[in-house]
Amino acid sequence: MENSRNKLKKTLTIYMAITVIIFLSLLSKLFFLQVVSAHAYKTLSDDNRIRMVAKDARRGDILDRNGNRLATSKPVFAISITNLGSKNQDEVINRLVKIMDMPEVTPEVIKEKMKRHFRLYEPVEIVKLPWSAEALQVITKIEERRRDLPGVIIQEVPRRYYPYGSLAGHILGYVGKISKDELEKYKQYGYGMNDIIGKRGIERSAELREISNQVVGLRGKKGVTQMEVNAYNHPVRKLVEIPPTPGYNVELTLDINMQRAMENAMNEIIAEIKEKNPKAGAGGAVVLDVNTGAILAMASKPDIDPNDFVNGKYEEKIDYYHKMKPGPWWNRALQEEYPPGSTFKMITGIAALEFAGIDPETKITCTGQYWKPPYIKCWDVHGKVDYYKAVAVSCNTYFQYVGEKVGIENIVKVARQFGLGQKTGARDIDSESKGLLPTPEWKSEVRSNSVNQKYEKKRQNLEKKYNELKAQAQTAEELERLEKQEENELRALEARYKIDYKFATEWHPFNTYNTSIGQGSNQYTVLQLANYIATFANGGKRWKPYLIKRIVSPDGQIVKEYQPELVQTVEISQDTLDITKRGMEAVTSPGGTAYYLFKNFPENIKVAAKTGTAQTGRAGDDPESDFHGIFVAFAPADNPEIAFAGVIEYGEHGGSSAGKVAKAIFEEYFNLQEQKFSQKDANATQ
């Protein structure tokens, strides 16, 4: 017995040893998990239970110079449902559908949305209701039956709204869902996949700006709610809640009343012109404060309505935006280049007075065309014209003559000082075009390439032809003959090339004539023309146009006030400017091309202007009948405040098209339309 006891003791020791090994392995693994890797598992555990739910901030408003709200955010009711995972979810959905009673909200639609929703802890948006009586009714009904609708949430979410519709649409721009590229570009500012971002215009340029190490702009800061969720991704409780910070308001230099006057006039005139010429329909216009460069109004037709891009109408109007011709997409005040026509003549005139010593009193005789080839025509037979009359009646003959006298170099020098053919550098706008100021250097560079290419091709064809012929040659004599023939032809080609090259690349007198009267290759944006006139009007200070006056924080503090920025002061004598101004005043005086427009204006508000009619230079247009109407002006002439430039495509005459827009603008700015209105009212009462 004692023997077997000992044996038992031995086996039990082995048994116990195995047990201890088993427990030690469990303990060491437990130690590894809970002591060594505890931190990693803690993170995993938090990943399991914590979710972030972002709350959008209210975007800042865009205001005009008088505080009118041009872009704002309107509350929209978002009705959402949280997936509580309860068994009577279907019942809740059915009840909600019945209460809402909207054809587009069906149980199937809701269930489909819930199925596609991955973040179960976030409510699923069923529908967005804009603020209206009907919407309020639906909301009230849902609130009344709150207890029967667990998980249904009504949230007020901000949605962009542009109260003035298409007015200033190109300037304001619009917002939209962030793109992949934008997401990459603005990575450091913490944008998310589904964020809204300014796409165009002020919405884009004022989206965010870094001002003294502080990021300000229309975009606010998103709020965040940290939620604890359970294994089914259903929210359990809120852990942390950081409310969103609203965006900054942006005040523009724009005056919405002037903008309205301008756009209404443009609409009216363009509609009229379109009846005569179906190619019409487009135009651009700009009004600048001559003393600062501030943009007071800027329009492009056809227009865009920013609301279309936030409320879904864009899809319906896709033909309007992308198929119609001319289309609304580009901002014609910035991005289209137009020949300036006669509005360029002041440049030629200033150059002639300043550098050629032309006496404004000296008269030349206009016989209806210039006396040198190619005998470019004038509008009329003006007879004896001096400088003032030449401006007033826009005499082509006179300006060709003085242009030739002063030479292209001086004309270019003056044009450059007034900013033509260069970007204005305007702040806060979408990209602008550069335009084109033709110079001898430009001509030589551009043309030499095309001529060279043309002749290189001809030479290659010739060689190819002879190579083929030579390959077929039977005798040595024939080969010799062919070689000689080829050499002759090449020499002839070379000679022709030299003549062509010289003609094409050299600046010819007629190039100067054309440039002098604003034809030829002159191409400028409306903004450039406006800035040129503003510079002229204020006595030679070229300002950088701008649109944003200041940025104001949500609590009303001005965080940035933008100051006018001087680009250049022109080096032209005051005499020359004054003389030319008198010429522009003569335009609106009896006998001038724009007299009829402003004849009813009071004495103290004298308008200085210049009309322009320019061959469109577009392929397929008739150079004899298709003209753009161009108009530039400033007022009051003796103490200028605002400058205008406008182009109405296919407007035929500057005065009768863009001139009318200028008239509407001045009437609005100087409060001259009251009389008209009161008269109308009187008629109505009778």
Partner 1 sequence: MFKINTRLLKNIDFVFVINVIAILAVGIMILPSASASVTSNPLYFVKKQLIAILIGCIVMVFTASINYRYIRRFVRHLYILNILMLITVLVIGTEINGAKSWIKLGPLALQPSELSKIIMIVCFADFLDKRQGKLKRLRDFIPCFLFFAIPLMLIMLQPDMGSGLVFVAIMLGMMLVGGANLKLLSGLVGGGFIAGVASIWAHFKFGMPLPLKYHQIMRLIAFINPYADGEGGRGAGYHIIQSKVAIGSGGLTGKGLFKGSQVQLNFLPEHHTDFIFSVIGEELGFIGGALLLLLFLSLIYRAVQIALNAKDMFGVLIVIGFSSMIVFHVLVNVGMTIGLMPVVGIPLPFVSYGGSAMLANMTALGLILNINMRRKKIPF
> For 96-105, which contacts have Cβ atoms below 8 Å and span 24 or more sequence positions?
96/126, 96/142, 96/149, 96/152, 99/138, 99/141, 99/142, 99/145, 99/149, 100/127, 100/138, 100/142, 101/138, 102/127, 102/138
Does the footprint of partner 1 cover residue 20 (CB under 8 A)? yes
Sign, CA dihedral 11-17-18-19, equals: positive
- Least distance from C-beta 227 to partner 1, angstroms? 11
User: How many separate helices (H) and strands (E) can be counted in the chain?
Assistant: 24, 23
Task: Find the shortest distance in angstroms from Cβ 164 to partner 1.
Answer: 51
**Nearer to partner 1 by C-beta: 236 or 318?**
236
Residues 630 and 654: beta-carbon distance below 8 Å: yes
Q: Does 23 bind partner 1 (CB under 8 A)?
A: yes
Tell me 332's DSSP state: T
User: Can residue 566 be called a binding residue for partner 1 (CB under 8 A)?
Assistant: no
Of the candidates 297, 349, 291, 296, the one whose C-alpha atom is nearest the C-alpha of residue 586 is 349
* 318 contacts partner 1 (rule: CB under 8 A): no
Q: Which amino acid is at 283?
A: G
Burial profile 346-370: b = 16 or more Cβ within 10 angstroms, e = fewer: bbbbbbbbbbeebebeeebebeeeb
Q: Which of 31, 371, 375, 503 binds partner 1 (CB under 8 A)?
A: 31
Q: State in angstroms the smallest separation of the CB of 193 from partner 1.
A: 23
Q: How far is the CB of 68 from partner 1 (least distance, A)?
A: 52
In terms of CB distance, is 9 or 87 closer to partner 1? Answer: 9
Number of neighbouring beta carbons within 10 Å of residue 53 = 17
Binding status of residue 12 toward partner 1 by CB under 8 A: yes
Give the nearer residue to partner 1 in terms of CB position, either 45 or 488.
45
Binding flag, residue 42, partner 1 (CB under 8 A): yes
- Nearest Cα to 224, choosing from 243, 207, 205? 243
Closest CB to partner 1 among residues 228, 621:
228
DSSP 3-state percent helix, strand, coil across the chain (nearest 5): 45, 20, 35
Q: Which is nearer to partner 1, 14 or 133 (CB)?
A: 14
In angstroms, how far is the first alpha carbon of the chain from the final one?
Answer: 138
How far apart are CB 179 and partner 1 at their closest, in Å? 31
Count the neighbouring beta carbons within 10 Å of the beta carbon of residue 602: 9
Instruction: Label the pairing between strands 548-552 and 223-229.
Output: unpaired
16/381 with CB nearer partner 1: 16
Using rule CB under 8 A, residue 86 touches partner 1: no
The residue (of 16 and 558) whose beta carbon lies closer to partner 1 is 16
Q: State the nearest-atom distance from the C-beta of 30 to partner 1, in Å.
A: 5
Q: Which is nearer to partner 1, 21 or 558 (CB)?
A: 21
- 596-599 CB contacts, 8 Å cutoff, 24+ apart: 596/655, 597/655, 597/659, 597/660, 597/662, 597/663, 598/663, 598/666
| Residue 402, number of CB atoms within 10 A of its CB | 23
Look at residues 487, 505, 376, 506 and name the one whose alpha carbon lies nearest to residue 446.
505
Stretch of 7-15, 415-423, 474-482, 675-683 lying at the interface with partner 1 (CB under 8 A): 7-15
Which lies closer to partner 1 via its Cβ, residue 14 or residue 684? 14
Residue 298 pairs with which residues in a beta bridge?
286
Least distance CB 90 / partner 1 (angstroms) = 22
Does position 25 interact with partner 1 (CB under 8 A)? The reply is: yes
How far from 99 is each of 82, 95, 150, CA to CA, in Å?
17, 6, 14
Q: How far is the CB of 152 from partner 1 (least distance, A)?
A: 23
Q: Binding of partner 1 at residue 52 (CB under 8 A)?
A: no
Interface pick for partner 1 out of 9, 87, 116, 180 (rule CB under 8 A): 9
- E-strand ranges in 352-408 read 364-366, 383-385
With contacts defined by CB under 8 A, name the span among 21-29, 331-339, 445-453, 505-513 that binds partner 1. Answer: 21-29
Choices 36-44, 313-321, 334-342, 640-648; region in contact with partner 1 by CB under 8 A: 36-44
Distance CA 421, CA 368 (A): 30
Among 3, 14, 212, 315, binds partner 1 (CB under 8 A): 14
By CB under 8 A, tell whether 470 contacts partner 1. Answer: no
Residues 222-261 interacting with partner 1 (rule: CB under 8 A): 228-232, 236
For partner 1 (CB under 8 A), the number of binding residues is 37
Q: How far is the CB of 21 from partner 1 (least distance, A)?
A: 10
Which range of residues in 12-20, 151-159, 470-478, 625-633 is near partner 1 by CB under 8 A? 12-20
Q: How far is the CB of 112 from partner 1 (least distance, A)?
A: 23
Q: Distance (Å, rounded) from C-alpha 518 to C-alpha 130?
A: 52
Cβ contacts of 17 within 8 Å, gap of 6 or more: none
Q: Map the footprint of partner 1 across residues 154-183, applying CB under 8 A.
A: none
495 binds partner 1 per the rule CB under 8 A = no
> What Rg do the C-alpha atoms of the chain give, in angstroms?
37
Report, in Å, the least distance between residue 7 CB and partner 1. 7
Q: What does the binding site for partner 1 look like in residue numbers (CB under 8 A)?
A: 7-9, 11-12, 14-16, 19-20, 22-23, 25-27, 29-31, 33-35, 37-38, 40-42, 44-46, 48-49, 228-232, 236
